[in-house]
């Protein structure tokens, strides 16, 4: 049995928020944001758009690219930190919007690593049970809903979007997914979190006024830990599969900050020319970023059959991982 990626899709909202726009909102400037992060602009969803709206638009594109219908889907997993509601899951809401009435649906919480974790779970479920043949693996975020637009430390970083891959179980021996490694460490919850809005710190008027509904981050610590964790996971999957740095066509890291991406590539001895970056256009879209990049790589014809593509992510939790694909 093998697992193949048979389609990709993505969606980003139309509204573009540039660094120049941010200059009018907080004490920052394009030069600071560009040199520290590599981000030039990001997409922001309007107030009537929920995460499942972003996800379903991306799914419709992915289904078209796979040349199948929504009813052919047995499993929908949405990696997200910005669910539409506490419940039903964003996956169920997406199911209803696209008409995937035969699918089992649930969300997965792993912050910015949500897409890779979802791919890991979907692959395992397809491998384990005959009833699961095709899955929509989705990373979708309306991350702008967690951002304090008065906090220049964080508001410059994030954007909204959704990325999807369709995976299918095949009879063949070959698999698109060659190896994967995931990690978590709950000891560092405070480095990157949204403290309020859950059961630990419900949103009362007082907590709301304190801003506990917004993302908080210790930027420099996150930076260091992100580089170390992604490099560790990438090395593990490269070792396990016997693939060397010079064989990697694309390294697609979670699009957090171009300095993080460069540091990861450099430690893996992968040339910067082989690092796929689109964070200049979309910023950090959390769980959506890898799916967005994979779809862009696919749609622009930047990848050929048989190419090795190394995905790696890091996020709140802490969570991290790497997955090696043969396209």
Catalytically annotated residues: 112, 254, 284
**Rg from Cα positions in the chain:** 19
The residue number whose beta carbon is nearest to ligand COA equals 219
Q: Does 152 bind ligand COA (CB under 6 A)?
A: yes
Q: Does 148 bind ligand COA (CB under 6 A)?
A: no
Task: Please name which of 82, 76, 84 lies closest in space to residue 110, comparing C-alpha atoms.
Answer: 82
Nearer to ligand COA (CB atom), residue 233 or residue 298: 233
Q: Which stretch binds ligand COA (CB under 6 A): 7-15, 69-77, 256-264, 294-302?
A: 256-264
Q: Does 222 bind ligand COA (CB under 6 A)?
A: yes
Q: Does 230 bind ligand COA (CB under 6 A)?
A: no
Nearer to ligand COA (CB atom), residue 267 or residue 299: 267
Q: What is the secondary structure of 86-146 as a DSSP string?
A: SSS-HHHHHHHHHT-TT-EEEEE--GGGHHHHHHHHHHHHHHH-TT--EEEEEEEEEGGGG
Nearer to ligand COA (CB atom), residue 112 or residue 265: 112
Coil, strand, or helix at residue 218? coil
Helix, strand, coil percent content, the chain, rounded in steps of 5: 40, 25, 35
75-134 positions binding ligand COA, by CB under 6 A: 112
Beta strands 308-315 and 248-253 are: parallel
Query: 21, 40, 193, 223: which one contacts ligand COA (CB under 6 A)?
Result: 223
CA distance 89 to 85: 7
The distance in angstroms from the start CA to the end CA of the chain is 17
Who contacts 23 (Cβ-Cβ below 8 Å, separation ≥6)? 29, 30
Per-position b or e across 110-134, b if 16+ CB within 10 A of its CB? bbbbbbbbbbbbbbebbeeeeebeb
Q: How far is the CB of 248 from ligand COA (least distance, A)?
A: 22
Q: Does 31 bind ligand COA (CB under 6 A)?
A: no
Query: 145, 175, 284, 285: which one contacts ligand COA (CB under 6 A)?
Result: 284
Nearer to ligand COA (CB atom), residue 26 or residue 68: 26
Q: Does 285 bind ligand COA (CB under 6 A)?
A: no
Query: 36, 40, 97, 262: which one contacts ligand COA (CB under 6 A)?
Result: 36
Residues in the site for ligand COA, rule: CB under 6 A?
A: 28, 32-33, 36-37, 112, 152-153, 156, 217, 219-220, 222-223, 226, 256-257, 260, 284, 314-315
């Amino acid at each position: 049995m093998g697992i193949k990626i048979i389609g990709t899709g993505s969606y980003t909202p139309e509204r573009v928020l540039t660094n120049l726009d941010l200059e009018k909102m907080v004490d920052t400037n394009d030069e600071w944001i560009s040199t520290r992060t590599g981000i030039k602009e990001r997409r922001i969803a309007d107030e009537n758009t929920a995460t499942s709206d972003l996800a379903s638009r991306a799914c419709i594109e992915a289904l078209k690219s796979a040349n199948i219908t929504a009813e052919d889907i047995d499993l929908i997993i949405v990696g997200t930190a910005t669910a539409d509601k506490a419940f039903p899951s964003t996956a169920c809401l997406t199911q209803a919007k696209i008409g995937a009435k035969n699918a089992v649906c649930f969300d997965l919480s792993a912050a910015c690593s949500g897409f890779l974790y979802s791919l890991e779970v979907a692959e395992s479920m397809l491998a384990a049970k005959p009833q699961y043949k095709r899955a929509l693996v989705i990373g979708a975020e309306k991350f702008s809903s967690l951002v304090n637009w008065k906090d220049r430390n964080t508001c410059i970083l994030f954007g909204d979007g959704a990325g999807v891959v369709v995976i299918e179980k095949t009879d063949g021996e070959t698999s698109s997914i060659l190896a994967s490694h995931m990690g978590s460490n709950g000891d560092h919850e405070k480095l990157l979190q949204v403290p309020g809005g859950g059961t630990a710190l419900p949103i009362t008027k007082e907590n709301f006024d304190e801003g506990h509904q917004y993302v908080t981050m210790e930027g420099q610590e996150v930076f260091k830990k992100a580089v170390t964790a992604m490099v560790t996971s990438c090395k593990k999957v490269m070792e396990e599969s016997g693939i060397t740095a010079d064989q990697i066509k694309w390294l697609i890291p979670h699009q957090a900050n171009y300095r993080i991406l460069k540091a990861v590539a450099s430690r893996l001895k992968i040339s910067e020319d082989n690092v796929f970056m689109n964070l200049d256009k979309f910023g950090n879209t959390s769980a959506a970023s890898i799916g967005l990049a994979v779809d862009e790589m696919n749609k622009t014809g930047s990848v050929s059959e048989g190419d090795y593509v190394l995905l790696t992510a890091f996020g709140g939790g802490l969570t991290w991982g790497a997955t090696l694909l043969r396209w």
